[in-house]
Structure 1
Amino acid sequence: MLAQRTSRLFVFTDLDDSLFKNLKNTKRDLSFVATTNNQGEAQGYSSLQQQKLLGVFEAAGGVFIPVTGRRTDSFLNCSLPVIKNTPYAVVSHGAVILDKYHRLLDGWHTFINAEFNLAFWESELVKTFNHLHNHFTAIGNTVKVRLITDQGITAYICVKVSRNDYSENKAKDVDSYLKSILEDDMLLHSNSRNFAILPPYARKDVAVRYIKNKLKIGEHDTVFSIGDSNSDLPFMKESDFLIVPNGSQILDRELNQ
């Protein structure tokens, strides 16, 4: 068939809660370790169903391209072969693209600098970080703020409510405050007790479009996407088919509308 001879298959995929999840949400006897923490301890497990999904695309010759909020060092803790051995990887919420050697992709820094005035936004991130650090330090130690730099790029601000102090009301208060000080063109990604303030160059969909152009993905190719959170939707819409796990944030949003 013509499609079999000419069409390539690509899978742009989120990682956490899409291809693996923590142990409490998996059946131990049917899962295996898919990622570890920096100490080498098991952190995420691939379920039988997630393994089957990967197997389907592997058998079809699919090219996997990870798209994750994880920064480079955290991404490299993933042990799934189809994820580690990929031509490209989008990390740090889209602020960074890695090549097959897990180094910053040639041309990416030049592109985002030209498109978004990188120096200006990196400066704005530093100012916002200093403000948030001072604010949350003054009211206690229940919220930690970090400025994340990845592959030499100031990528985003990580804000996390401590596990012992987490509650839905606490998270809502933090979410409201972060939105109140957010600058135009910055985005806030919220997920339980974790928050990320993203500059305009930290966009998963921008990075995916860049890779699609580099690979010359066209109308004769087929593109799937896999994701679970609302922040994944923009890059997922760059595909022909969207795959969403049951119980995901995306599904909850759609069901509650």
Structure 2
Amino acid sequence: MNKFLFVDLDDTLFHSLRKCDTRDELRPIAFLKDGSANSYTNGRQRAFLAMVGQGMTLIPTTARDRDGLARVDYPFTHYRIVDFGGIILAPDGQPDPVWLARMRDDMATALPGLRQVLAVIDDYARRAGMPARARLVEDLGLPFYVNVKDPERDMARLDAIEREAVAPWLAGQGGDFCLHRNGNNLAVLPKRLNKARAVEYLQARLRDEHGEIMTFGMGDSRSDARFMAACDYAIIPNGTQLSALTVGAL
């Protein structure tokens, strides 16, 4: 039976240097556009990758876009899910045309709301004297979600943006959208954009190609739980947001 691991990347398989224990033997695995390393693996993470690489096919299931995934130094050779599930790349690197057409329709519907919440966040940040600015994240010409980070990693300022700007908008005009928050990363996504939809679509495709399959889901964030629940088994790294909300809470 073919086994597939749908796996988130950042804070699941590797970490930024700030989140690493510098006593570990760290090796760079992901890089910025200028070629400098910005994410690293420790020995346990490398051992895990070696273990699952022997018996499973890894399918990255990430918020990274195509360019960000290409700067990860790992040989992903099968399907790849990027942009929070907005794009599915086939093994040859080309976007799955059926999924792309579906997302094109969904994101055209979502675009007015994305522009609206972007303006709401920027207006609040300006009035509050905050340096944070929202941006509309796009890939393959499609708008997917609004993202905002604080350049000084001031969580209190992001908390205020979430509480005073985003939450009221979601409760009012933004009923078709949801919030993703993990540390210094705040994103507003259309509900039609989610990793679980892409995983379920790809699972059906894999069954057509391989017959009966076994699937595993792995992630660090609360937002990953939904796609992990669509798999036969779930793997949660210790010390993560999702771990604290599940096994850590018990």
The answer to whether TM tops 0.5 is yes
Partner residue in 1 for 2:161: 174
Partner residue in 2 for 1:244: 236
Partner residue in 2 for 1:14: 8
Alignment map for 1:191-210 (pairs within 5 Å):
191-210=182-201
Give the Å deviation of 1:156: 0.3
Give the Å deviation of 1:23: 2.6
Give the Å deviation of 1:113: 4.7
Partner residue in 1 for 2:110: 121
Contact 1:27 1:47 in 2 (8 A): no
Give the Å deviation of 1:26: 3.8
Change over 3 Å in CA distance of 1:38–1:234 after alignment to 2? same
Distance, in Å, in 2 between the alignment partners of 1:110 and 1:138 is: 39
Give the Å deviation of 1:29: 6.0
TM-score by length of 1: 0.87
Which amino acid is the alignment partner of residue 148 of structure 1?
A: V
Which amino acid is the alignment partner of residue 34 of structure 2?
A: Q
Contact 1:103 1:151 in 2 (8 A): no
Distance, in Å, in 2 between the alignment partners of 1:104 and 1:138 is: 41
Partner SS, residue 4 of structure 2: strand
Give the Å deviation of 1:244: 0.9
Distance, in Å, in 2 between the alignment partners of 1:211 and 1:70 is: 18
TM-score by length of 2: 0.89
Distance, in Å, in 1 between the alignment partners of 2:104 and 2:83 is: 16
Which amino acid is the alignment partner of residue 120 of structure 2?
A: H
Distance, in Å, in 1 between the alignment partners of 2:143 and 2:152 is: 26
Contact 1:160 1:193 in 2 (8 A): yes
Which amino acid is the alignment partner of residue 112 of structure 1?
A: M
Which amino acid is the alignment partner of residue 123 of structure 2?
A: N
Give the Å deviation of 1:28: 6.4
Distance, in Å, in 1 between the alignment partners of 2:116 and 2:162 is: 19
Structure 1: give runs of 5+ residues left out of the alignment.
1-6
Q: What stretches of structure 1 move > 6 A for 4+ residues in a row?
A: none
Partner residue in 2 for 1:133: 122
- Structure 1 residues 89-98 or 195-204, which shifts more? 89-98
Distance, in Å, in 1 between the alignment partners of 2:158 and 2:169 is: 16
Give the one of 141, 146, 153 matched to 2:135.
146
Which amino acid is the alignment partner of residue 202 of structure 2?
A: I
Partner residue in 2 for 1:41: 36
Contact 1:12 1:225 in 2 (8 A): yes
Distance, in Å, in 2 between the alignment partners of 1:36 and 1:43 is: 5
Contact 2:24 2:42 in 1 (8 A): no
Deviations 1:163-191 (A, max 9, x none): 26x04x33321221311112112110001
Q: What is the root-mean-square deviation of aligned Cα atoms in Å?
A: 2.0
Which amino acid is the alignment partner of residue 48 of structure 1?
A: G
Change over 3 Å in CA distance of 1:145–1:63 after alignment to 2? same
Partner SS, residue 187 of structure 1: strand
Partner residue in 1 for 2:175: 184
Contact 2:145 2:187 in 1 (8 A): yes
**Alignment identity in percent?**
27
Structure 2: give runs of 5+ residues left out of the alignment.
none
Which amino acid is the alignment partner of residue 10 of structure 2?
A: D
Partner SS, residue 107 of structure 1: helix
Distance, in Å, in 2 between the alignment partners of 1:109 and 1:13 is: 21
Distance, in Å, in 2 between the alignment partners of 1:134 and 1:74 is: 29
Contact 1:69 1:91 in 2 (8 A): yes
